[in-house]
Amino acid sequence: MDKTHISVWNKCLKIIKDNVSGQNFKTWFEPIKAVRLENQILTIEVPSQFFYEWLEEHYLTLLKKVMRNQLGNEGRLEYSILMENALSSAQQYKVKVPGRTNGELKNAPMNMPVNINSGIRNPFVIPGLKKVNVDSQLNAGYSFDTFVEGECNRLARSAGYAVAGKPGGTSFNPLLIYGSVGMGKTHLAHAIGIEIKSRNPEKTVLYVSSEKFTHQFTDAVRNNTHNDFVHFYQMIDALIIDDIQFFAGKEKTQDVFFHIFNHLHQTGRQLVLTSDKAPVDLQGMEQRLLSRFKWGLSADLQMPDLETRIAILMKKMYVDGIDLPREIVEYIAYSITANVRELEGALISILAQASLNRKAITLELAKSMIDKFVKNTTHEVSIDYIQKVVCDYFSLPIDLLKSKTRKRQVVQARQIAMFFAKSMTKSSLSLIGANCGGKDHATVLHACRTVNNLMDTDKKFKANVVELQKKITHTSK
């Protein structure tokens, strides 16, 4: 009856599942990985410092209970934190949580005090400005309901949700969401604003793009209303500024933003910022601003994986009342891998094309539309797509190809997929390996050599590969 970290943690999860809501379980416990069990110490890996603090704040009693239940009074829990911080993305560090038989928190060295909202109001009476008059500028369509959760956005989304539940009252202040174009930053920023407003209708929430902020400021300077401008922004309870990379090089705007930022932060209001770059990569930004961004949490948004892309399309179709066959949705999701905006764009152009020409939407139509779409954006074939075509060809489930199994037939299909991924995409060997059963770059190189050798020696094999190549390039051209 050997206990392993996996078996112990699975048993813990079973109990936890019965004690927390489904959503909370998904958000806070599914992402946890048990990594080892030594001397009655179970080490679990959590995605971030934030995640760790959240567990400590909300689930300490429950975790203690399940640990004692599984490992007895000697049982301890240790966290390993996978830092999401832009400064050191690959770094890992460990937090030792001494056994807490008396339930005391103070022994946990990493348990930072949370910045509790003091609820201080702006002490100035601002003539002519009534809080109720501020239009939040929020787009109701960009809510949490329509924002699909995935591995790609888990931290940012849950941090956003936490902030919305306790604006100014978490340690994620400011919350900086970053990611490249079309990844959902604006959507998530609105979602946070909408959620704050719906839970706290009395709070003044404002969404503004950096561009608009900059224009308003220049106008204010020109019209001698600089003070009104500053006062207006200083009375906001939750200020959301989109695309702050736009402030780069604009010293005066950064300066006024710095003062507004300080005032809001000091009085316990919430700041949510988005940027197309990680804070470290933001050039032309004053150091004192950058250092303030680090006070809170920076969380990134990445390109959704295939399943999430499918879920996003399905959600969009549901919201818009559209019904499309699953194979078409899958085809779009396989083919468009650049960003979410393009993904939606492809769906919309297929619908538009079909309704303009009064044609039924078939896979053929979808393919020809996507071809154009993909060509226009000089797109390369994706690893996902190659895997899909290879798996269809060999009638294998894609999961198997992505698994670690060493079954002969799967190994060969996997090698072929690696071979095509190497020759048809710009992906690195290690990325290809990671996508094909978690292999390393050497395995991918070996696969490419094997396929080349086999093509030289085995005619039938070569014919298969050539046929597959045609399939891949034909449908993705």
Minimum CB–partner distance for residue 274 and Mg ion (Å): 7
Q: Using CA of residue 220, residue 134, residue 272, residue 227, what is the dihedral sign?
A: positive
Q: Please list, in sequence order, all residues whose beta carbon lies within 8 angstroms of the beta carbon of residue 305, skipping any fewer than 6 positions away.
A: 150, 151, 152
Spatial distance between the Cα atoms of 174 and 187, rounded to a whole number of angstroms: 17
Minimum CB–partner distance for residue 250 and ligand ADP (Å): 20
Task: For ligand ADP, give the closer residue by CB, 131 or 277.
Answer: 277
Task: For Mg ion, give the closer residue by CB, 185 or 388.
Answer: 185
Question: DSSP string spanning 335-361?
Answer: H--S-HHHHHHHHHHHHHHHHHTT---
Which residue carries 């303009």 as its tokens?
356
Minimum CB–partner distance for residue 153 and ligand ADP (Å): 5
Our finding on whether 186 is near Mg ion (CB under 5 A) is yes
Q: Please list, in sequence order, all residues whose beta carbon lies within 8 angstroms of the beta carbon of residue 23, skipping any fewer than 6 positions away.
A: none
Residues binding ligand ADP: what is the number (CB under 6 A)? 17
Q: CB-based burial of residue 54 (10 Å sphere; 0-12 exposed, 13-18 middle, 19+ buried)? A: buried
Q: Within the chain, what is the greatest distance between any pair of CA atoms?
A: 86
Our finding on whether 148 is near ligand ADP (CB under 6 A) is yes
Among 54, 79, 147, 247, binds ligand ADP (CB under 6 A): 147
Our finding on whether 153 is near ligand ADP (CB under 6 A) is yes
**Three-class DSSP category at 458:** coil
Among 45, 78, 344, 371, binds ligand ADP (CB under 6 A): 344
Spatial distance between the Cα atoms of 20 and 342, rounded to a whole number of angstroms: 37
Candidates 182-190, 425-433, 440-448, 461-469; binding stretch for Mg ion (CB under 5 A): 182-190
Candidates 57-65, 340-348, 362-370, 414-422; binding stretch for ligand ADP (CB under 6 A): 340-348
Among 183, 369, 429, 468, binds ligand ADP (CB under 6 A): 183
**Three-class DSSP category at 224:** coil
Peptide bond before residue 174 is cis, with ω within 30 degrees of 0: yes
Task: For Mg ion, give the closer residue by CB, 188 or 329.
Answer: 188
Task: For Mg ion, give the closer residue by CB, 186 or 412.
Answer: 186
Minimum CB–partner distance for residue 187 and ligand ADP (Å): 4
CA-derived radius of gyration, the chain: 26
Among 41, 312, 413, 447, binds ligand ADP (CB under 6 A): 312
Question: DSSP string spanning 14-50?
Answer: HHHHHHS-HHHIIIIITT-EEEEEETTEEEEEES-HH
Q: What are the backbone angles phi and psi of residue 177, rounded to the nearest 5°?
A: -105, 125
Candidates 38-46, 129-137, 177-185, 320-328; binding stretch for Mg ion (CB under 5 A): 177-185
Among 112, 116, 129, 181, binds ligand ADP (CB under 6 A): 181
How many angstroms separate the Cα of 408 from the Cα of each of 298, 414, 442, 476?
44, 10, 19, 28
Minimum CB–partner distance for residue 142 and Mg ion (Å): 10
Conformation bin of residue 474: beta by default, left when phi > 0, alpha when psi is -120 to 50: alpha
Our finding on whether 275 is near Mg ion (CB under 5 A) is no
Candidates 12-20, 183-191, 321-329, 397-405; binding stretch for ligand ADP (CB under 6 A): 183-191
Minimum CB–partner distance for residue 460 and ligand ADP (Å): 44
Minimum CB–partner distance for residue 185 and ligand ADP (Å): 3
Minimum CB–partner distance for residue 196 and ligand ADP (Å): 17
Our finding on whether 158 is near ligand ADP (CB under 6 A) is no
Q: Which residues contact Mg ion (rule: CB under 5 A)?
A: 185-186
